Structure 1
Amino acid sequence: MRNVKWAVISIIACFLFLYVLFGSICPVACLTGFPCPACGLTRAGISVLTLRFADAWELQPFIYPILLWLAAAAVQRYFCRRRRLSVWLKWAGAVLICGMVVFYAVSMYRYFPDRAPYLYHSDNLLQKIVIYRQLW
Structure 2
Amino acid sequence: MEKKRNLKQRLKIGKTIFFKDVKHAKWAILSVFAYFVLLRKFFITICPAVLITGLPCPGCGMTRALIRLLHLDFAGAWQMHPFVYLFMIFILWFGIRRYILGISDTKKAWKILAMLGILMILFYIWRMLRYFPGNPPMSYYYGNVLLNLHHIIKSFLQI
How high is the TM-score relative to the length of structure 2? 0.76
Where do 1:44-63 residues align within 5 Å? 44-63=65-84
Amino acid of the structure 1 residue aligned with 2:51: C
Amino acid of the structure 1 residue aligned with 2:43: F
| 1:20 maps to which of 23, 35, 41 | 41
CA distance in 1, matches of 2:97, 2:54: 38
> After the TM superposition, which of the residue ranges 12-21 and 22-31 deviates more from structure 2?
12-21
Amino acid of the structure 2 residue aligned with 1:117: P
Alignment gaps of 5+ in structure 2? 1-21
Residues 48-101 of structure 1 show CA distances to partners (whole Å, capped at 9, x for unaligned) of: 1111101111111111111111111122222233444242x3332222111111
Deviation at 1:4, TM superposition (A): 3.1
Where do 1:1-136 residues align within 5 Å? 1-87=22-108, 89-136=109-156
Structure 1 contact 32–125 (Cα < 8 Å) conserved: yes
CA distance in 1, matches of 2:95, 2:78: 23
Amino acid of the structure 2 residue aligned with 1:110: R
> After the TM superposition, which of the residue ranges 18-27 and 4-13 deviates more from structure 2?
4-13
How high is the TM-score relative to the length of structure 1? 0.87
| Structure of larger gyration radius | 2
CA distance in 2, matches of 1:132, 1:13: 30
Deviation at 1:6, TM superposition (A): 3.3
Q: Which has the higher helix share?
A: 2
CA distance in 2, matches of 1:45, 1:64: 9
> After the TM superposition, which of the residue ranges 56-65 and 126-135 deviates more from structure 2?
126-135
CA distance in 1, matches of 2:43, 2:107: 39
Closer/same/farther in 2, CA of residues 114 and 11 from structure 1, 3 Å limit: same
> After the TM superposition, which of the residue ranges 125-134 and 49-58 deviates more from structure 2?
125-134
